[in-house]
Amino acid sequence: MTLQNENHIKKDYSNGLVIFLEKKSLTDELFSSNMPANHRGVVDDVVSALHELQHHHHLVIAGEGEISDHPTESHLSSLLLESEVKFSETADYLTGKDTFSQSEDSTRTHIEEFSRNYGIPVERRLLVQAGTKLSIFCDLKNLGTETVLPEVLTICFHTYSDMASWILSHPSPYKNLLQGLQEGAGILREGGLVVLPTETVYGLGADATNPVAVQKIFAAKKRPFYDPLIVHVSDTKQMLPLVTEFPEKAKALTAHFWPGPLTVVLPKSSLVPSIVTADSPSVAIRMPSNPLARELIRLAGKPIAAPSANLFGCTSPTTAQHVEQQLGGTYDAIIDGGACIVGIESTVISFLGKTPRILRPGGIDQKAIEACIGKVLSDQHDSVEESTTSPGMLPSHYATATPLQIVENPSDYASRSDVGVLLFGKSTEDFHGPVEYLSLSSDPKEAAKRLYQAMRKLDRLSLSLIVVKLLPETGIGIAVNNRLRKAANNH
């Protein structure tokens, strides 16, 4: 494989970030035949984000073959030309193979080669990949700093505008991230509040061993003290002193799903102050998979109590901006790690009884749990009164300010311009009100990831009603439906 543009080496890339836009995923996103006619908003979003970025940084389209080779690619170049988005370069790779399929790794190899030719250091490169997981990759290797962050950090976004504003607010992403984590850890150690990204939703964190710090969480969220908090750890070593028992099944489950969206409830040790657990003798513990969250906890050297970073009872946040909009001014620092990739809260499972019991469905579904440790109970299906086992799991939660209603047939509301529609999959119906698609390809995981963002977006439009049809009741769809039912219960 060779770079086509080796002879253009005179271009000056000595300042600003060099943002490589992966050509294939960009064209797929912009010209997807999957896109309903009423969803072209993504094109405007891409164009305006690229406009903004091109004034501050270098944009390089990176991909296989020539841009004019393919109808969608020539379509891309004319769209961008028309929109006055200027690229510093199009780095087209000739692979000499017809069947070459563009993988993340090969793209990175090409970028390495490009960067070598132009002398672009690792810390000034970002690779942007579009599609359902619009994301940027930060290459953290060779930074020479002590960190357990992975060599390549992926940060995901809901929209291109979100991505552009992240890049613009992190002009030196590597330095900014590492500094932010170090400062955040210092604030946590001193008893302050730090908002942290996790793979599920953003959390409002405080040192779990400091009751005064934990009290600030309840104040900021206007959360009643009877609703206990989840304690987050960076590794198992940090978890063991917090509990007095660690049953085999809990061991097996955490060994399998940690780090990840799983919270286990176990008998607490005296290290956990009673304010964290609402006076209960048990504690809920989770090891998040988001590397920024784990690095923050590791640097703080303390277990971190963190509920979702929203006002009590309201929709949970999946971006730093969501948190700022609702809780701005109540915390000491915020780590902006892009959009949460799971998008709904962790599964909470209690090991207090003889048989483990799911208290809250979440990022890991019951089937996967049972495949690991055998039969478990779940409140939803056994219709046990939730509030007796888990005080915080009130029937109304996650609510939008706009009334939300679950309906069988969203099309019934097609003529109402004052009604917002939350759809799971694609629809050709001509809705007069605003529509949010949770997943054009009807992928429940994607729907979970976009759920709160879509609810918040519709909630800002001063509509009289939001209608939504439930997802099929399987896998993560169960957790999504649980959130929708509780959000609907408020009204």
Task: Report whether 335 contacts 181 (CB < 8 A).
Answer: yes
In the complex, least distance from residue 318 CB atom to ligand TXA, rounded to whole angstroms? 11
Asked if residue 200 binds ligand TXA (CB under 6 A), the reply is yes
Q: Residue 34 has which token pair?
A: 């999957």
135-139 and 152-156 beta bridge pairing: antiparallel
Asked if residue 43 binds ligand TXA (CB under 6 A), the reply is no
In the complex, least distance from residue 282 CB atom to ligand TXA, rounded to whole angstroms? 4
Q: Measured between alpha carbons, how far is 87 from 77 in angstroms, rounded to an integer?
A: 10
Using DSSP's 3-state secondary structure scheme, residue 409 falls into: coil
Task: Report whether 395 contacts 489 (CB < 8 A).
Answer: yes
Asked if residue 129 binds ligand TXA (CB under 6 A), the reply is no
Q: Select the span of 101-109, 176-184, 235-243, 306-314 touching Mg ion (CB under 5 A).
A: 306-314
**Closest residue to ligand TXA: CB criterion:** 392
Is the Cα dihedral 405, 409, 414, 415 positive or negative? negative
Asked if residue 265 binds ligand TXA (CB under 6 A), the reply is yes
205 binds, among ligand TXA, Mg ion, none (CB under 5 to 8 A by kind): none
Asked if residue 260 binds ligand TXA (CB under 6 A), the reply is no
Q: How many CB atoms lie within 10 A of CB 272?
A: 24
Tell the residue number behind the tokens 């035949």, with chain if given.
Answer: 33
- Indicate the residue among 50 and 369 with the shorter CB distance to ligand TXA: 369
- Indicate the residue among 173 and 343 with the shorter CB distance to Mg ion: 343
Q: Select the span of 73-81, 250-258, 277-285, 364-372 touching ligand TXA (CB under 6 A).
A: 277-285
Q: Measured between alpha carbons, how far is 346 from 80 in angstroms, rounded to an integer?
A: 40
- Residue among 173, 157, 175, 180 nearest 49 (CA): 157
Burial tier of 36 (Cβ tally within 10 Å: 0-12, 13-18, 19+) = middle
Binding flags for ligand TXA, 303-342, as an x/- string (CB under 6 A): ---xxx----------------------------------
Asked if residue 282 binds ligand TXA (CB under 6 A), the reply is yes
Which alpha helices (DSSP H) does 157-302 contain, by range?
160-169, 173-189, 211-221, 236-239, 248-257, 291-300
- Exactly one of 30, 53, 130, 229 binds ligand TXA (CB under 6 A); that residue is 229
Size of the site for ligand TXA (CB under 6 A): 28
Asked if residue 227 binds ligand TXA (CB under 6 A), the reply is yes
**Closest residue to Mg ion: CB criterion:** 308
Asked if residue 390 binds Mg ion (CB under 5 A), the reply is no
Give the CA dihedral 309, 439, 337, 28, nearest 10 degrees. Answer: -170
* Interacting residues toward ligand TXA by CB under 6 A: 198, 200-201, 203, 227-230, 261, 263, 265, 277, 280, 282-284, 286, 306-308, 345-346, 348, 359, 390-393
